Structure 1
């Protein structure tokens, strides 16, 4: 499994040439935000195409269905289930609870890139994927997204999954949290909360944080050097924090600044896999998070892609996106409990 965060900065290096479709999509993403970081909502809504859940298996045998987690808050999730095994003695499969990115403000579990990515994880890892449609800011600020993540785990712990949605047996002692960007931030905080609770049937066996969205008031070298290199900018990330954090908070709020000696980690905090991209302006904050986990002696795998930009995983035509899924597969296999429930 890939290993160590390098000291190499993307400053002075030119990002490798990208396929034209990727360049077009990144250019479109830049247009969604004004220079001050605010969102052109109408333009975004036109581009945020949605995929419908389908009980009919796709070519790889993956089917999907939506479930209600909490009707009172409108919380729901999309569940992706792999094809049934012909082997009657096949062990139950792990569960991956996924949190989409979007700065706590944009996108959903039904957005096409996330429907496609979760479908790919389901197929290649042979796991049931529960993609959480958590509430978005600014209508629902901190800690709404974290509350929704914990509520999803409580739902799984109490109810498992409906048989008409999860068509294979699942192992709730092998539940993994995963997410990218803001979703990686949510995965950390939900893992911390769950690890601090009393024992439950559901066991969080690991957490996969793909370019997690952390931050602080100071400007890191990467934020200065990589501002607006791709679709993400400092103005955009600042705007996202203002819309998510409690009104009047700074970016040094514990939800954002998850690093240093002050980081709180429960004894039962799970093994983590942290993914860092060389052209991601958030990479210095992610590296600080890695050092904080190491300082606490937590099991940790760091996977670095020197040429990757923020959100690279959503572009299946990129080689690094395929490598990431393989790394996730290795991580899940390593920490899978092998115990059925």
Structure 2
């Protein structure tokens, strides 16, 4: 990708957003490594509660795998938006598995920003959201995060949701979507590929993937990595290098298949689901994201690219940003387009 015209500008951000991004930047040393104690002081946690919050969202924590300690937080609307609008029983709700960002090393499903985001998605999308607390690097390297994400899908494939958050209409396991930002977007791709390539389970269908500014990379520096290295204080090239060193197998380069997901060497299952790739104009990772989308399209996959020219990395986390609201609407349309009941209704109309 050619250098963006945004390279000559700096992003315009509300002071409240800039303060939060700056605080995250302060949690890193100059070489990109994380100041763990400082980060932990700022990583405030939110609890789950079966009592509906102000938006009518209930939540509960479930244990996904007792052997690894992996768990997930389930968010559910207290009532379906269609409960009173239709004479017939409302259809079961789609499920969105969410994988948080943080370079595979930071945050958790209980971190306040991600708890708030998942509540917002649950309410706006009228969907059950399962936020997976996968194991993090450097203690747990590749492929732990991918294994844990697949374990969460297997769990829901085999187990009902807890009664205190299970929607009355039930969930539609044929309308499950994967979504994640940054490292979580990377997880979306690899888990979608694993699930699409497997035939060992039958109920849960991955209907689509939403990759929000996914974390991909390679050994060479792209134009965007040079131009936007310090566009925002929260993410810079040295930090991304550290994240890869912490996550990839010891001695692996950034050209490892987990990071460099572009070009002819990428393997894709025939059943790889439709994908929505979100790119921000001020994101230093945007060239890798564009290469990923180009690779998917070249291999005949159903991919749409949604670009926000003025967006920084992580913009979707801040509801005060206009682009964040636009993104949620785009995600809602993507889910509605690829839901099973949408497919079935279209089939009945043409039969």
TM normalised by structure 2 equals 0.93
Contact 2:4 2:224 in 1 (8 A): no
Aligned mate of 1:27, from 7, 15, 22: 22
Q: Which runs of 5+ in 1 are unaligned?
A: none
Secondary structure in 1 matching 2:341: coil
**Superposition deviation, residue 233 in structure 1:** 0.6
1:282 pairs with 2:275: no
Whole-Å Cα distance in 1 between the matches of residues 166 and 89 of structure 2? 17
1:173 pairs with 2:174: yes
- String of CA shifts for 1:98-155, please: whole Å, max 9, x gaps: 0000000000000001000000000000000000000000110000000001111111
Counterparts of 1:79-94 in structure 2, within 5 Å, are 79-85=74-80, 86-87=83-84, 89-94=89-94
Secondary structure in 2 matching 1:224: helix
- String of CA shifts for 1:57-83, please: whole Å, max 9, x gaps: 012211100000011100100000012
**Superposition deviation, residue 228 in structure 1:** 1.7
Whole-Å Cα distance in 1 between the matches of residues 5 and 92 of structure 2? 43
Contact 2:137 2:247 in 1 (8 A): yes
Counterparts of 1:15-94 in structure 2, within 5 Å, are 15-16=11-12, 18-85=13-80, 86-87=83-84, 89-94=89-94
Partner of 1:261: 264
Aligned mate of 2:312, from 309, 312, 316: 309
Partner of 2:349: none
Whole-Å Cα distance in 2 between the matches of residues 10 and 102 of structure 1? 24
Contact 2:43 2:111 in 1 (8 A): yes
- String of CA shifts for 1:295-327, please: whole Å, max 9, x gaps: 011111110000000011111111111111000
1:188 pairs with 2:184: no
Whole-Å Cα distance in 1 between the matches of residues 54 and 35 of structure 2? 36
Q: State the Cα RMSD in Å.
A: 1.4
TM normalised by structure 1 equals 0.96
- Choose 87-96 or 61-70, whichever is displaced more: 87-96
Whole-Å Cα distance in 2 between the matches of residues 9 and 76 of structure 1? 43
Secondary structure in 2 matching 1:293: helix
Contact 2:3 2:224 in 1 (8 A): no
Secondary structure in 2 matching 1:281: coil
**Superposition deviation, residue 165 in structure 1:** 2.3
Q: Which runs of 5+ in 2 are unaligned?
A: 345-351
Whole-Å Cα distance in 2 between the matches of residues 8 and 304 of structure 1? 12
**Superposition deviation, residue 335 in structure 1:** 0.2
Whole-Å Cα distance in 1 between the matches of residues 3 and 18 of structure 2? 27
Whole-Å Cα distance in 1 between the matches of residues 161 and 337 of structure 2? 24
**Superposition deviation, residue 6 in structure 1:** 9.2
Counterparts of 1:90-169 in structure 2, within 5 Å, are 90-168=90-168, 169=170
Whole-Å Cα distance in 2 between the matches of residues 247 and 218 of structure 1? 19
Secondary structure in 1 matching 2:340: coil
- String of CA shifts for 1:242-286, please: whole Å, max 9, x gaps: 000000000000000000111111000000000000000000000
Aligned mate of 2:8, from 4, 9, 12: 12
Whole-Å Cα distance in 2 between the matches of residues 112 and 6 of structure 1? 36
